[in-house]
């Protein structure tokens, strides 16, 4: 008698091999048989007509604060995710002294757009050091497994104080103290070290995050700890990743390839197509491949499975948000009242006639371009055509783009949302992302789950990967279902050395999804106020997940939580052979 048998599903096992019909038997939290299983289970799950996959492993999240108050880790739990890695981009909440807690909250709010008031109310501080943070996380129950990286910004501020926060150069003594902290964190089970070097990442004060301009001696010393211990991933957002101008766009890859080869550890770095140099990504991918093949490096460009986009709407952000009349008279009103006031002809005339009262600090990177605003329908489309844009709608009607945008925003109940791709959609096509996905050394990440609460909702990427790339794409070549599952299960797990999950094989952790693939669908993004202190955020749910299991326990059935909380803290382990996925 097994604990659970998932019966008669189409098994997509995470290896990339062809799917096959079979059963999956589970006992004591592990998979014990895959194929034809004659024995019965104490619980039987009928998967006939469904695909059965490993649980998805999301390696780029920012649940560092939310993990302390939300046992479900929404919205990732609604998209088949069973393991998340947090502590990305050099921001996090340990190590920390009590006087610096609010400063770290401001850093996270500025970089990742998580409401500071929600973090202040929601986090129950019970740590100073990074090992103490891991212990605090380990002591909480949740639906999925979590792992953490030690963040450069917190380490630098802890050691250097205001000098670190201000990005002053680190002295040899500073570097020695920082490496000691990273070593202690890795011994305690951190999965890696993270940093950010893009000038688009700013603290709430408007200052670049600590570590943005760190010199090579600092970076190589901190990365050297991973090599010394034979464990962990070096994660970063490199300079230029947001499309900001650089004299040498290959500068970051040059030092990364040397560091990775020197310490023998993998480096994963964010890579997007940007509108200013739309073909640069190809050269960087090729450089990384050559470094891996000829120099002993382990460079893994981390890519997004869909365009990095802002969700535009009256409850998030929109082109009229900075207009004086809107800011002074409307912004504070409840949505229904705001929509009614915005429909007033005089209010409409004034807002449309005004210039913004404040300047968007990223306007030079992402200017208003109504060719890149696309209304979301009932089924969100992440590869819309030019003919679907607000500019095209206005041209067909012979009207001004801003007027059309305004009227669409206030139509109905005012909850209409729009896709505004910032990165990864320079050619109005996902063909470049398709090419990145096919590269064996490119890994899927950058969901930013838990972050960018009021602007972005890419935690749903695991679902859109399945629906768009493996089933629905109509404007180009698709990718096989087996390939898409592999890219977000075994490949992501193996990169972080989590070699007990990501495959449906005997002996592996029983993290499993049962998915009605034919009817799998994303719902439109929705703005809710469910964070601590009434903070607002965008969420996105999905239909079609029949069941999700973590360590053999059923955590969700048809999108609803069962009450089970089998999730655990995942600690890193030494892996002297490296972590090539």
Say which residue the tokens 């669409």 belong to.
408
pLDDT at residue 578 greater than cutoff 50: no
> What is the structure's pLDDT at 577?
41
pLDDT tens-digit readout, 56-90? 999 999 999 999 999 999 999 999 999 999 999 99
Q: What is the pLDDT of residues 557-568, one digit of tens each?
A: 999 999 999 999
Of the listed ranges 39-48, 194-203, 560-569, the least confidently predicted one is 194-203
pLDDT at 234 over 60: yes
pLDDT, averaged across the chain: 95
What does the alpha-carbon distance between residue 201 and residue 531 come to, in Å, rounded to a whole number? 23
- d(CA 399, CA 445) in angstroms, rounded, equals 40
Predicted TM-score (pTM) of the model is 0.96
> Is the per-residue pLDDT at 371 higher than 90?
yes
3 state SS for 45-71: EECCCCEEEECEEECCECCCCHHHCCC
111-165: pLDDT as tens digits? 999 999 999 999 999 999 999 999 999 999 999 999 999 999 999 999 999 999 9
Q: What percent of the chain has pLDDT over 70?
A: 98
Summarised one tens digit per residue, pLDDT across range 162-199 is: 999 999 999 999 999 999 999 999 999 999 999 999 98
Report the pLDDT value the prediction gives residue 203, as an integer from 0 to 100.
Answer: 87
DSSP assignment of 384-399: --GGGSHHHHHHHHT-
Q: Is 158 helix (H, G, I), strand (E, B) or coil?
A: helix
**If pLDDT is split at 50, 70 and 90, which confidence band does 449 have?**
very high
**pLDDT tens digit sequence for 218-227:** 999 999 999 9
Chain segment 313-370, per-residue pLDDT in tens:
999 999 999 999 999 999 999 999 999 999 999 999 999 999 998 877 666 667 788 9
Structure confidence at residue 440 as a pLDDT band (50, 70, 90) = very high
DSSP H or E stretch at residue 154 = helix 152-160
Can you tell me the distance from the alpha carbon of 405 to that of 320, in angstroms, rounded to the nearest whole number? 10
60: left (phi over 0), alpha (psi -120 to 50) or beta: beta
Cα angle for residues 344, 350, 354 (degrees, 5° grid): 145
Quickly list H helices, 57-129: 101-112, 116-122
Angle subtended at Cα 259 by Cα 258 and Cα 261, rounded to the nearest 5 degrees: 65
CA distances from 35 to 6, 41, 517, 548 (A): 10, 14, 20, 19
Q: What is the mean pLDDT of residues 233-255?
A: 94
For residue 273, what pLDDT is reported? Answer: 97
Write out the H or E segment, with its range, that includes residue 152.
helix 152-160
Residue 265 burial (CB count, 10 A):
27
The whole-number pLDDT of residue 574 equals: 54
DSSP class of 128: S
Percent with pLDDT over 90 in the chain: 93
d(CA 369, CA 397): 18
Half-sphere exposure of 90 (CA within 13 A, CB side): 31
Place of tokens 């250097």: 160
Residues sharing a CB contact under 8 Å with residue 463, sequence separation 6 or more, in sequence order: 79, 80, 520, 522, 542, 544
Q: What is the pLDDT of residues 515-526, one digit of tens each?
A: 999 999 999 999
Q: 10 Å Cβ neighbour count for 84?
A: 29
- pLDDT at 20 > cutoff 90: yes
φ, ψ for residue 22, nearest 5 deg: 180, -175
| List of residues 6+ apart from 228 with CB closer than 8 A | 183, 263
Is the separation of the CB atoms in 432 and 424 below 8 Å?
Answer: yes
pLDDT at res. 573: 76
Q: Round to whole Å and give the CA distance between 195 and 234.
A: 8
Mean pLDDT of 425-430: 96
* pLDDT higher than 70, residue 465: yes
Strands (E), 145-200: 145-148, 150-151, 192-196
Mind giving me the DSSP string for 467-495? IIIIII--SS----HHHHHHHTTHHHHHH
């Amino acid at each position: 008698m097994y604990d659970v048998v998932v019966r008669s599903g189409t098994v997509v096992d995470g290896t990339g091999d062809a799917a096959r019909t079979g059963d999956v038997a589970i006992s004591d939290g592990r998979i014990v048989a895959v194929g034809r299983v004659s024995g019965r289970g104490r619980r039987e799950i009928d998967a006939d007509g469904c695909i059965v996959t490993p649980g998805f492993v999301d390696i780029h999240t920012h649940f560092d604060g939310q993990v302390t108050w939300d046992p479900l880790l929404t919205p990732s739990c609604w998209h088949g995710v069973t393991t998340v890695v947090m502590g990305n981009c050099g921001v996090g909440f340990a190590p920390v002294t009590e006087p610096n807690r609010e400063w770290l909250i401001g850093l996270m709010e500025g970089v990742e757009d998580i409401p500071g008031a929600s973090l202040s109310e929601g986090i129950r501080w019970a740590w100073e050091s990074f090992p103490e943070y891991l212990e605090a996380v380990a002591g909480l129950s949740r639906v999925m497994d979590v792992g953490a990286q030690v963040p450069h910004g917190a380490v630098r501020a802890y050691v250097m104080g205001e000098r670190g926060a201000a990005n002053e150069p680190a002295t040899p003594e500073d570097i020695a103290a920082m490496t000691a902290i990273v070593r202690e964190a890795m011994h305690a089970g951190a999965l890696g070290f993270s940093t950010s070097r893009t000038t688009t990442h700013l603290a709430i004060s408007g200052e670049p995050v600590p570590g943005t301009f760190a010199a090579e001696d600092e970076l190589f010393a901190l990365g050297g700890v991973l090599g010394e211990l034979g464990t962990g991933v070096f994660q970063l957002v490199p300079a230029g990743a947001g499309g900001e101008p650089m004299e040498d766009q290959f500068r970051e890859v040059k030092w990364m390839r040397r560091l990775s080869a020197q310490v023998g550890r993998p480096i994963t770095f964010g890579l997007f197509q940007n509108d200013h140099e739309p073909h640069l990504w190809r050269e960087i991918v090729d450089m990384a491949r050559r470094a891996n093949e000829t120099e002993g490096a382990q460079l893994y460009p981390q890519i997004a499975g869909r365009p990095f986009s802002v969700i535009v709407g009256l409850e998030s952000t929109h082109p009229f948000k900075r207009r004086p009349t809107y800011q002074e008279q409307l912004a504070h009103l409840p949505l229904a009242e705001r929509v009614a006031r915005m429909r007033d002809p005089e209010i409409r005339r004034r807002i449309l006639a005004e210039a913004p009262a404040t300047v968007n600090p990223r306007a030079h990177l992402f200017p208003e371009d109504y060719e890149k605003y696309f209304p979301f329908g009932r089924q969100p489309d992440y590869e819309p055509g030019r003919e679907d844009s607000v500019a095209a709608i206005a041209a067909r009607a012979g009207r001004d783009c801003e007027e059309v945008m305004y009227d669409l925003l206030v139509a109905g109940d005012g909850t209409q949302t729009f896709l505004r791709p910032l990165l990864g959609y320079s050619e109005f096509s996902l063909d470049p992302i398709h090419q990145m996905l096919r590269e064996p050394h490119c890994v899927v990440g950058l969901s930013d789950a838990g972050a960018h609460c009021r602007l972005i909702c890419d935690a749903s990427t695991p679902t859109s990967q399945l629906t768009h790339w493996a089933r629905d794409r109509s404007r180009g070549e698709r990718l096989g279902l087996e390939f898409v599952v592999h890219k977000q299960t075994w490949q992501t797990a193996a990169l972080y050395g989590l070699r007990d999950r990501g495959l449906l094989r005997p002996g592996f952790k029983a993290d499993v999804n049962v998915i009605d693939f034919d009817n799998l669908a994303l719902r439109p993004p929705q703005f809710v106020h469910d964070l601590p202190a009434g903070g607002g955020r965008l969420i996105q749910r999905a239909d079609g997940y029949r069941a999700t299991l973590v360590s053999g326990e059923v955590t969700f059935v048809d999108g609803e939580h069962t009450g089970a909380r089998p999730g655990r803290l995942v600690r890193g382990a030494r892996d002297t052979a490296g972590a090539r996925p």
